[in-house]
Structures are given as C-alpha cells and as structure tokens.
Chains A and B, each alone.
Chain A
Amino acid sequence: MPHSPPELLQKLQTHLGQLVLGKPEQVKLALTCLVARGHLLLEDVPGVGKTTLAEGLARCFSMSFSRVQFTADLLPSDILGAQVFLQAKGQFEFRKGPVFHQVVLADELNRAPPRTQSALLEAMAQGQVSLDGVTHALPQPFAVIATQNPLDLSGTYPLPDSQLDRFLLRLSLGHLSPEVEAQLVATRRADPLTSFKPIADAAELVALQQAADAVKVSTDVADYAVRLAGATREHAEIERGISTRAVLSLMSTARALALWDGRDFVTPGDVKQIASAALSHRLLLKSSTTGSYARDEAAHLITELLRKVPAPR
C-alpha cells in the first residue's frame, strides 16, 4: 500500500526510533539526508549508535549495506575493488569492493590516508568508480555514511575542507538522556539489528527523492538562503564563508525537509531548521579551534546569523 511522503517518513522515523532510541531529531535529519540524495557525516565519540543508525537506515529501505573500517593501512583497492587474475579462466576479472553497495558505512573515515579517503570521496561525488580505464556504475540509490571521532585526533588524517563539502549534512548523536539510557539498559538484550525488519524498499526511497525534487522554492526563500550565505562570507570571525555548492545543498536538504510536512514548497523555517547541520562543517573559521570544537563554534555562528539575517515574511 503506497503511502504519502509525510506518512512514509513518519513511519520510517518511528521505525528507526525503535533502533536508535531517544534521537528522533537526528533520525529525521538522517532520513532527510537520504531523501536529498546526500551523504551523511556523523561526528561523535564511539558507542553512541552511529553504526546502528547507518545500518538501520540501510535496512529499513532493504538496501544493500557494507561497512568499511578505515585504518591507516587501508588502500583504495580495499574499498573500490580490484582486478583479480582468475586462474581457471586465465583472465583478469574485476572484483567489486565494498563501495558497491547502496549504503556504505565508512567507519572512522579520518583514520585512512588521504589517498584512500579521496578514492571514496570521488565515488561519492561521481556515483561511479573508474579503474583501469573502465567505469563501473555504483548501485542506486547510493549513500555514504561516514563517521569520525572528533576527540581522538592522534594518528588521523583530517579531511580537507573540499572533501568535507561533499557531505550534505553533518550530525552528531550525543549521549542519551538518563531516562532513555536506563530504559535501554533495562530492555535491550541481543543486537537489535538482527530483528530489524525493512518497512520500505529502494523504489520508495527513489520516489521520495523525486518528490523532493518537485518541491518548489519561491524567490523570497531562495533570496533568504543567498543572504544567509552572503552573511557567512562577510562575518568577521569566518575566514571563508559557504560556497555556492553549499547553498545548493542547503536548498536541496530544505526541499527534502518540506516533505515531512507534506508541503510542496520550502519555507524559511525549513532553511533555518537545516542550516546548522548543512552548513557548520563547511565554514572555515578564523579561530584556531579544530575538530568538533570548530563545528560547535560554527554552529553557534550559524545560529547567530539566523537571528541576524531577517527571514522573509
């Protein structure tokens, strides 16, 4: 039975909520990110449910899922795949790497050397993998969910800004509230993922993505987004404001967000709601803070700008 976009999204949120307890907002944004055809960056300490969220997202759409643990010795071929000589046939054959799944979890992305990172990021940007002159299309819909530990920076290769820019949203889950945590501790026995059933399929996700594409943006709202972007470029504490690509991804996320209310148009409220998650990792600050502290500071600056730049009314 087909559902209208808001119903489906609500259902998915509730369903995922059984898996990732007490984080409805983050679940909502993660779903929005998928609907907006974006890749998700989860920055948080280990053990707060990042992997569970990623795998849950894949499972509830019954999409194929792979997980790559990034380490310092990980090579591009470990992700993309490689030509393997088959003795029986006496020829080379391309063996697909873990990236050839619909949802790829890149765990601790920043632990791999830049060459490996960029191999993944190229696949994210292009939606295809080119090896030895042959182009291999990635399965669609395709989404990468990368995680980073923002505190333990020793032995890491921080992502360059240009590559951070490829992630549509950046979220952090944060610790659970004591009540939710107590409930979890009291009730959870086995790995919940084993019993986690899909409630939609990839075709429904594609339908949602197309519905998001159909959402209209009035000139006033577009103007508002552009003014926000302009404000980040002129802010005294920001070294480099957001790019035009960033404004585009902000608006595509806002379009996906509009689906939650069943609207076929974007409101300034959508933009406000998504601005921090969509923009804070794309700002280069003048202060010397790095990692998650810089993100927090950037998020504060975005909040400040949201108050300062008048929304259309």
Chain B
Amino acid sequence: MRLDARRSLRVRMRDFAAMSAFAAVALSGALPIAVPAIFALAFIASLLGFRPFAKQPVLSVVALLIMAVALFGLALRGQLDLVIAAVSFAALVTGQRMLSEPSPATDQQVLLAALLLMAGAAALSADIWYALCLLSFGVFACLSLGLAVVEGPIERDEELPVSPVLRQVSLGVAIALAGGIAFFILFPRLSWNVASRRAGPSLLGGTTGMTDRVRLGGGGDIKTSARVVLRVAIEPPPRNDRLERYWVGRRFDSFDGREWRGTGQPRPPRPRVLIGETRGATLQRIELLPAYESRTLVGLAQPVYFGPANALNNGGSTAAQLEQVGDEEVRIVEDANAYTYVVHSRDDYPLLEEDAVKLAALTVLPPSIDPRVAQLAQRIAGNETEPEDIANKLETWLRSNLSYTLELPGEVDDPLSDFLFNRKSGHCEHFATALAVMLRTRGVPARVVGGFFGGEKIGERYVVRAGDAHAWVEAYSPIRGWMTFDATPDDGRGSQPPAMMARLVDVYERLQEFWRARVVEYSIIDQWNFVRELVKPPANARSAGSKGDDDPDALPLTKTPTQAFVYAGIAGLLVWILWSRLTRARKKVHPAADFLTALEKKLIAAHLPYRLDEDIERLPARLAKERHRLAEPVLRASRRYLEARFGNRPLSGAESRKLLDAVTPPPPAQ
C-alpha cells in the first residue's frame, strides 16, 4: 500500500473511532440537537477529504471560542447541564480537529478528544450500546495509532504491505481487550458516580403501559412491543408457564368523556403500604426494568401489601419510600432507573369499608355523554337490578358485538360513542371505558383499572412485556363488594408481538441484563464474591436455583472452582500455544541454539558467566589461560556447538547431553 492510501486509511480509522465515541454520547439522547448535526457534517466532510481548518490556526481558535462561549454561556444561564455542555464541547472539538491537517499529531488530538467523549458518555449513559461504542472506539483508535506508528519511520512513498501490520495491531487489540476484561474483573473497582446522570430511555425508547391518565383516541402500538418491563419471582411458584392473570397497576375513577384520571390525594411516604389481610397471600419479588418508565407499583390482582422497595441507579441501590395515592395506586417517591420491591397479593379483594360519598363519585357520568350510551345500556341490561348481573350482561354484549383492533381512530370528538356506534371496534381501553360508563348509567359504581395481563416464564422468573399492558373494569356491589370484569374479547388480552421480534427482544434484554448486572453495577463485593468462589469450594451454602433474598439479580453460580481451574488451565495453554507460535513465526531458532542455551545455563551454574565482549567462542581461550578445571570440556562443547550451528554438522541429543554433562560444575565442597 502506498503512502497516500496508508494515510487515508489511517485518517478513516481515526474518524470511525471518533464517530464511535460520539455515538456513545449521542445514544444517551441528552445532547442538544445542533451538536449531532454539526458532528455528522464534520464526519462526512472529513470522509470526503474536505478540510477547511487545515493550516488555519486563527480560524480554528475563533470557531472553538465561539462554540465554547455559546455552550458554557448556556450552561451558566442554567439552560444546559454542565456535563452535557462539556461533552458537547468535546464533540465539537473532535469535529473541528477532524477537519484539520491530517497529520499523526492531529490524529492524537482527535483521539484524545474522542476519549473525553467516551468518558462523558460513561457519565451520561451506561447503556449496553455504550459497550458496543467503547469496543468499536478502542478497535478503530488502536488501528489508527498503529498505522501512525508505521508511518513514522516509513514516510517515503513506497509500496508497503499494511495487512501484516494491521494483523499484528489487531492481535494486540484483542490481547489488550482480554487483558482489560481480566483487569475489570480482578482489579478492585472504584465507584465513580459523581457525574452520573439518570439513564435516559435508551435507544428503543420508553415503552411504558403505565401512565397517570388513560386517554382514549391517542396513538400507540404498545400491544406489539415485546420489551420486558418487569420481572417477577413468585412464591409459591405457579404451575403454569404462562400466567393468565391480571397485574393491577392503578385505578382511574374520573372520566371526562375523553380521558380517565385519578382523583385521590397522596398520603405521606412510608417504607411499606399495608392495604389488607396478608394471610395466604402470594409473594412476588418484582423488578421494574428501566423500560417500565413509571413509578407505579404493580402486583398480581389483588395486591394487599407492598413491602420494602429499592431504587436502583447507576452504581447502587438505595431504600425507596412508597406513597399511596387514594385507593388508586402505590408509587415510589424516588426517581430512579429501575426498582425492586416485594408485593403480597390475594385472590379476593381486601375488605374495605366503601363510604357512600366515594361510591357516588364512581357513578358520575361525563357531562357531554351521548344519550345513546345510556339507552344502549338499558336495552342490554333490561330490568336487571343486581350490579353483578348487569355487569355480566354488558360484558357479554361488548365481547360478542364489538371487535378488537389495534388500529386507532385518531382524535375524535367523542371517542366512546365513536367506538360504540360508529367503528364498533377498539382496544382494551375502549372496551373498559364502555363497560365502566355503561355500568355508571345503570347506577353501578365502576372504575377502570390499568395494568397488565399475562406473564410468561423465562428462566427462573416470570416476565411481563410492554405489550401485556391492559385495561379492565372493577364494579362494586353492596352485597359482593368489588368484582373484576373485562369486556375485552379474549384475543385482545396479553401481548401480541411477532414471534421473531419477541426472540430478538429477549436476546437484547438478556444482554442488557448481563451488561447491567456484570458491568455497570459490578461492585467490589461482586469481585470479592467472584474471587471467593474461585478459591473456596461452594460447600452447600449456595445451591443453584435459590437466590439471596437481598439480591434478586444474583445469577445462580453453577461453576465449581474445579471447573474454573480447568478453564483457567485451558486458557493458559491456549495463550501459551498462541505465544509460542507467534514467536516461532517471527524468528526461526536453529536447533543448536537450544544446546547453547543449555550450555550457558551450565556455565552460569559453574560461576563462569561471560565477561564483556565475551561469547562462547572466546570463553574457552580465557579458561585455558586461567587453567580452569572446565577449560577442556568447555572448549569441546564450544567447538561442537560452532560446528553444529555454522558448519552444518548437526548435533545429536546423546552427544549434546554428553558434552553438557562434562561441563557440570563441581559439587560444593563439604
């Protein structure tokens, strides 16, 4: 490869490294939109070889000053986070240097600025995409630096094969990465989260099913999302791998014709919330993943007790406070990335005294209600008076006469009558709203419940996906208390992601989980445990499958120390083979050289090291002059070595042993 081609390859590698670093920052989604735009422009310009800042120091300084003043001005005025301003500035500096003279010195500046970007990205997001960007940054930066090193001594325009160099550099990168991982696992970890920000919604975006209000007619394709929003360990474990059960999130009691909302007032925060009798309850350890994007706690119908909760942020977990809002929901006070908590549920509703005022509020109809709704309800309910019967009739009618669809109508004036009389199809929120409103027209207190329906077993735990989000109705009967009704046809419950998508998402979730548990939140305690598991047999303290109560994340350790040692041995062997092959490929060792090595060892053992400028050819002469006891055998060995090495008279193993034995030092004097 000639000089020009080498140079452009090097610059391209550098640009890709910078792009990887920038991607890590951009994926956090925190940068002002102008910064990615400018950087993308700079990247494309640099790829095309357009370098306006080459040999323009004044222009460069002016451009950087303007950017610095703009960004830090915004930061000073409080319109921009300081860390984000700094990262943006680093990104702009990177872009500016990319458009400068393409010399190795500039490369180093670009890579240094890109390194700052990586550091900034670590503060802004600890997403799994960050790992990918870091990897690609490392690889590209090493390749670019490797090429720059080659370019140093060979600046002439000559044909030079680059692939062996790149092969060597790639090997170095691979070894460095392996070393980095080992270092990461074994070097005592320091937590450095001073600058860490709450992680954003990440690349796939927020996918919550849980909002503060349920608005009819809005857009959404949530049913097809396979993203896992929560993971649950259930005790006692259910028999089925697919749970056909409701997960209660929050209740909505007020409808204004367009959207449902809650009216309850928050109570003071507490570490635990007790709602009803917990005897015989099902215990669930729930982990709300970052994709959940809400602070509302869910539990299997019907939750009676919410236990201690932890808020997980980058770097650690802290105890979280719970606040109960009316009868509607229990939510976590702290804002965090993810949460873990414990909830107890019973199949029946907790026995609560419902006062008349509250019940009356649950029969309030929206002021602008279409009169046809009440007529329809009356026609269906006939002369039933018992709330349960009315609800059953309405539920049956809605299920059989209206169809489920995910195609949303868009904004309409009266979504309810549009659903009932016009489109005659809708999704769960439409069905739930219709049932609740029609019950209210018959004087039955009813409310809409938002949550999830379903859950499937993956590994040791059950997962609930964003697509499992569901809405249903609770109706009150003075005799029976609260009852659950679901007007949505069966095909509309649970998530319906395409199978392929579900599988991909599972892989992604697992990776994400691994990244979070093993990298982002990998603490010195985990390191300690890792090392302890290596050196100490796990006795019977930890049996596979049961997890520590305090750590629902803990993966069961199935590797025994013996296995670990075997793996370490195999890895060591592989490294040794690789190393010896590499060194052998680099330099062919003459068979006689081994003899010389052995001979020199013997000489050192006999306290006969070489002096300055001495070698195996000259040593015998000195020994002869000194009348050393070993002069004769050393001379013989030396002559024979020279013959074998340079005179093409190979040395047999027996002969070399004989010669070496003759050089054996005298036994120590008694």
Contact = CB atoms under 8 A, between A and B. Distances in A.
B648 A313 contact: no
Contacts of B643: 263, 265
A263 B645 contact: no
A204 interface: no
A306 interface: yes
Interface stretch (A174-182, A188-196, A214-222): A214-222
B646 A265 contact: yes
Contact of A269 (B590, B615, B648): B615
Interface string A219-242: 011000000000000000000000
A103 interface: no
A268 interface: yes
Given A313-B593, A313-B596, A265 B647 contact: yes
Contacts of A218: 645-648
A263 B642 contact: yes
A303 B590 contact: no
Contacts of A266: 646
Contacts of A263: 642-643, 647
Nearest to A303: B613
B618 interface: yes
A116 interface: no
A307 interface: yes
Nearest to A220: B646
B615 A216 contact: no
Interface in A255-313: 261, 263-269, 272, 303, 306-307, 311-313
A14 B647 CA distance: 28
A44 to B, nearest CB: 24
Contacts of B617: 267-269, 272
Contact of B618 (A264, A269, A307, A312): A269
Contact of A220 (B590, B596, B618): B590
B610 to A, nearest CB: 12
B606 to A, nearest CB: 19
Contact of A264 (B590, B615, B645, B647): B647
Interface centre among B617, B639, B646, B647 (most CB of A within 10 A): B646
Contacts of A306: 613
A197 to B, nearest CB: 30
A269 B593 CA distance: 15
B642 A267 contact: yes
A282 to B, nearest CB: 21
A247 B617 CA distance: 21
Contact of A311 (B590, B615, B639, B648): B615
A303 B613 CA distance: 9
Contacts of A313: 590, 593, 596, 645
B596 A221 contact: no
A263 B649 CA distance: 12
Contacts of A216: 647-648
Contacts of B593: 313
Contacts of B615: 268-269, 272, 311
A267 B645 CA distance: 9
Contacts of A220: 590, 645-646
B648 A265 contact: yes
B597 to A, nearest CB: 9
Interface in B583-623: 590, 593, 596, 613, 615, 617-618
Contacts of A312: 590, 645-646
Contact of A267 (B590, B596, B613, B646): B646
Interface string B634-670: 0000010011011110000000000000000000000
A303 B612 CA distance: 11
Which of A221, A263, A303, A307 is the most central at the interface, judged by chain B CB atoms within 10 Å of its CB?
A: A263
Contacts of B642: 263, 265, 267, 269
Contacts of A311: 615
B35 to A, nearest CB: 50
Nearest to A269: B617
A313 B617 CA distance: 11
A267 B596 CA distance: 14
A269 B615 CA distance: 8
Nearest to A219: B646
A266 B643 CA distance: 9
B407 to A, nearest CB: 79
B556 to A, nearest CB: 55
A309 to B, nearest CB: 13
A202 B147 CA distance: 62
B646 A221 contact: yes
A212 to B, nearest CB: 15
A274 to B, nearest CB: 13
A307 B612 CA distance: 9
A264 B646 CA distance: 10
B415 to A, nearest CB: 86
Contacts of B647: 216, 218, 263-265
A88 B648 CA distance: 65
B394 to A, nearest CB: 96
B601 to A, nearest CB: 14
B282 to A, nearest CB: 77
A179 B648 CA distance: 44
Contacts of B645: 218, 220, 267, 312-313
Contacts of B596: 313
Interface in B9-38: none
A29 to B, nearest CB: 16
A95 to B, nearest CB: 50
Given A220-B590, A313-B596, A307 B646 contact: no
A261 B593 CA distance: 21
A313 B596 CA distance: 8
A259 to B, nearest CB: 13
Contacts of B648: 216, 218, 265
A307 B611 CA distance: 12
A264 B647 CA distance: 7
A6 to B, nearest CB: 12
Interface string A31-73: 0000000000000000000000000000000000000000000
Nearest to A306: B613
Nearest to B649: A265
Nearest to B593: A313
Contacts of A307: 613
A101 B238 CA distance: 116
A57 B593 CA distance: 40
Nearest to B618: A269
A171 to B, nearest CB: 19
Contacts of A267: 617, 642, 645-646
Nearest to B592: A313
A313 B597 CA distance: 9
A10 to B, nearest CB: 14
A220 B648 CA distance: 11
A50 B617 CA distance: 30
A220 B589 CA distance: 11
Contacts of B590: 220, 312-313
A305 B590 CA distance: 24
Nearest to A266: B646
A261 B636 CA distance: 12
27 contacts: A216-B647, A216-B648, A218-B646, A218-B647, A218-B648, A220-B646, A221-B646, A263-B642, A263-B643, A264-B647, A265-B642, A265-B646, A265-B647, A266-B646, A267-B617, A267-B646, A268-B646, A269-B615, A269-B617, A269-B618, A272-B617, A303-B613, A307-B613, A311-B615, A312-B645, A312-B646, A313-B593
Interface of B: 590, 593, 596, 613, 615, 617-618, 639, 642-643, 645-648
The 9 A-B residue pairs whose C-beta atoms are closest, nearest first, are: A269-B617, A265-B647, A218-B646, A267-B642, A265-B646, A267-B646, A313-B593, A313-B596, A221-B646
Given A220-B590, A267-B642, A303-B613, 20 more contacts: A216-B647, A216-B648, A220-B646, A263-B643, A263-B647, A264-B647, A265-B642, A265-B646, A266-B646, A268-B615, A268-B617, A268-B646, A269-B618, A272-B617, A307-B613, A312-B645, A312-B646, A313-B593, A313-B596, A313-B645
